[in-house]
Amino acid sequence: MLKTIPSFSYEYLFEEQGYTLIAGVDEVGRAPLAGPVAAGAVILDISAHDGWLEEVRDSKLLSARTRQKLESVIQREAIAWGVGMVSNADIDDFGISRATRLAMKKAISQLVIEPQAILIDYIRLPEVNLPQMGITHGDSLSFSIACASIIAKVARDRLMEEMDERYPGYGFSRNKGYPTREHLCSLENIGPCPIHRLSFHPLKPQLGINDDF
């Protein structure tokens, strides 16, 4: 995993072209066996150099407590932010790649100010008619993308904790739907619940799902 300190380097590249409202976009939750895929979109003031930015990293490198603290700061300090989610049922219908792009588009649509350009972790969104860059390891390199990953991660984790109360027995509050040993044992013992992704292995072969996803 790339470990580096994010910066505004990519944002400045767009600023040199005359764009100032630049949204960072990232997703979380592609790999879990349960729950939605989520995406965040964040527009930061790239002229600011506030101290809290020094704590920003890819959400996977931060503790849950730090992510939650930064979520509040991002939501307060950002020019605009948004979160989009696509359900497990839609993931089964559309496939995870299309569902991920849809979650990103939803997050962008939640921004109260329309961005002029977008920075995305790894992929591109051809359906979005805006200048854009897909950056490999973008959540480790761009402040805007890293902030998007943080708010998406906190929102999805919070939802999975709620799902643990609704569907007990799978440990969703701990594993967030990822295929931990606990989660896999629960699936073997009690089967899937309504938020499981039936198109994902190991659920697909167990349930006789075809390969049309």
Round to whole Å and give the CA distance between 124 and 39.
14
Q: Decide: helix, strand or coil at residue 122.
A: coil
- pLDDT 10s digit of each residue in the chain, 213 long? 456 789 999 999 999 999 999 999 999 999 999 999 999 999 999 998 779 999 999 999 999 999 999 999 999 999 999 999 999 999 999 999 999 999 999 999 999 999 999 999 989 999 999 999 999 999 999 999 999 999 999 999 999 999 999 999 999 999 999 999 999 999 999 999 999 999 999 897 654 443 332
Partners of 34 in beta bridges: 196
d(CA 4, CA 117): 24
pLDDT at 50 (0 to 100): 78
Question: Using CA atoms, how far apart are residues 162 and 176, in angstroms rounded to an integer?
Answer: 10
**Alpha helix (H) residue ranges in the chain:** 9-15, 64-77, 88-94, 96-109, 138-141, 143-166, 172-175, 181-190, 203-207
Instruction: Assess if residue 2 is contained within a domain.
Output: no
pLDDT for the residue 212: 35
Kindly state whether residue 3 falls inside one of the protein's structural domains. Answer: no
- pLDDT of the residue at 206: 54
Q: What angle do CA 135, 91, 96 make, to 5 degrees?
A: 30
Query: Is position 160 within any domain?
Result: yes
Distance CA(180)–CA(34), nearest Å, equals 12
Does some domain include residue 19?
yes
**CATH number for the domain that contains residue 103:** 3.30.420.10
Tally of CA atoms within 13 A in the half-sphere of 138 that contains its CB:
25
How many structural domains are present in the chain?
1
Q: Kindly state whether residue 156 falls inside one of the protein's structural domains.
A: yes
Domain presence at residue 100: yes
- State the Cα–Cα distance between residues 73 and 66, nearest whole angstrom: 11
Residue 195 belongs to some domain of the structure: yes
pTM: 0.92
Domain assignment of residue 213, yes or no: no
- From the CB of residue 80, how many other CB atoms can be counted at a distance below 10 Å? 18
Structural domain range at position 92: 9-206
Tokens describing residue 78: 């950002």
